[in-house]
Homo-oligomer: A and B are copies of this chain.
C-alpha cells in the first residue's frame, strides 16, 4: 500500500500526527501494535488520574477530620479497586472506540501490527500472530513508538510480587504493603492510590530527593508531606536486589538490610521502544540508551521524524503531541522554523501536587545570563488553599535578568496553576504587566500572582 505519511505508534504523538496529517490532506497510514492511546491512555496518565480521582475523597476526609470539620469512621468509607478497574476498562473501551471512529472519519488507514523499516520508503507491518504482513510505501514517516518501563537485571518485574507500573495498575485487590522503587512521578502517584486503598507504603529513591529533576524544594517539601501521611521514605538509598519469594516481594538494600512487602513496584525510569524496528537501516541513529536522535526539526533521518518518548526530549504526553503537530505542519509546508518546545510543563497529581512551567532555579542558573532571582509565596496565606484545609505548599517564581523564566509549585491543587504559569512564562510577563489582568478572588491563582509580585531574593 502507498501513502504519503506512515506513523508508527498510536499514542498521544502518533495519533495526533495522523489526525492532523489527514486533516491537512495527506494520505496517512497509522500503525499500532496494541491499543490506541499508547502508554498515556492505557497504562499511564489516564488510569492513574482515574484512580486518584476515584480515591480522592479518602484523602480529603482525612485532612478535614484532622481539623475536626468532618467526623467519620475511616472503615465506613471503602474505595473499591474492582469498581475502579471496571470503570477504567469501560472508559478505555469507550475511548478506543471513539478514537478509531475519529481516525476512520478523518480518512486515516489504521493497521494493527508491528511496523518495521525494511528499506528507505518501506515499512512492513506484521500482525500479532506473525501471519500477515502488509508492506507500506511512504514518502515520509513519523516514529512515535513511545517507551516502556525500564528495569535492571537485579530489580526486574516478574509479574508476581514484583510489578511494573502497568502490572500494578491491573491488580484487582490492593496489597496491604507496597514497596516502591523510584521516587519519580509514577512512584509517587501510584503510591498515593494504594495508600488510599489501605496499603502501607515504603518508597526508595536512590538520588538525594524525590522528583530529582525538579526544584529541590519540591522534592523536600513533598517528602515532608508524605511522611506526615505515614509513608516510609528511604531517600538516597540503593536497592541491591528485588525478587518474588514465596509470593511476596523481598528486597535487599545495598546496606544488606532486607525488607518484605506484599507487592513491589519498579518505577526507575523509561526505556524507548526503538529496538528491532530497522531504524538504523533507514539512517536513524540511536543514543546509548536507545533514544532516537533528532535534529532541530525533529528529523531522525531523511524523510523520517521521531516524536514523543522515543526521541527522549521529554517523556510527557503533551510534549509528544506538541512535537507531532510541529512535524506535520512542517511536512505540510506550514512551518519553516526549527522546533521550539522549550521547557515542557510538568505536573504530579494527588493530594499533594506539584507543577512546573519553564525552568527550575538550577536550569536558570545553567542558562547563562547575568542575574538569577527567585520570589515566592506560601500557600498558607492563600484563602482558597485555607478553605481546602490544605495550606502547606508554595509557589516559587524564577527570574533571569528580570524576565520570568519559570514557576514551580507544591501543594494541594497546584496542578491547576500549570497552564496559567506556562502562558505567563512563555509571554515573559513582568510583575507590572500582571496588573493588566484581574485575578478573581478567592482563587489559588492569586498565590501565583503574589509569588510574582513578592520581593525577589538574589541568587546570582
Task: Give the interface of A toward B (CB within 8 A).
Answer: 12, 40, 45-46, 49-50, 52-58, 60-61, 64, 67-73, 76-80, 83-84, 86-87, 91, 316-319, 321-322, 325, 341-342, 344-347, 355, 383-384, 386-389, 413, 415-416, 418-420, 422-424, 426-427, 435-445, 448
Contact = CB atoms under 8 A, between A and B. Distances in A.
B57 A64 contact: yes
Contacts of A445: 416, 418-419
Contact of A79 (B69, B424, B440, B448): B69
Given A440-B419, A441-B316, A54 B69 contact: yes
B70 A87 contact: no
A76 B78 CA distance: 12
B347 A49 contact: no
A224 to B, nearest CB: 22
A46 B387 contact: yes
Contact of A49 (B49, B76, B317, B384): B384
B46 A68 contact: no
A69 B61 contact: no
A438 B341 contact: yes
A422 B443 CA distance: 13
Given A68-B86, A341-B438, A415-B440, 4 more contacts: A54-B67, A54-B69, A71-B78, A420-B423
Nearest to A78: B71
A106 to B, nearest CB: 14
A315 to B, nearest CB: 12
3 smallest beta-carbon distances between A and B, as pairs = A53-B387, A419-B445, A76-B76
A435 to B, nearest CB: 7
B423 A424 contact: yes
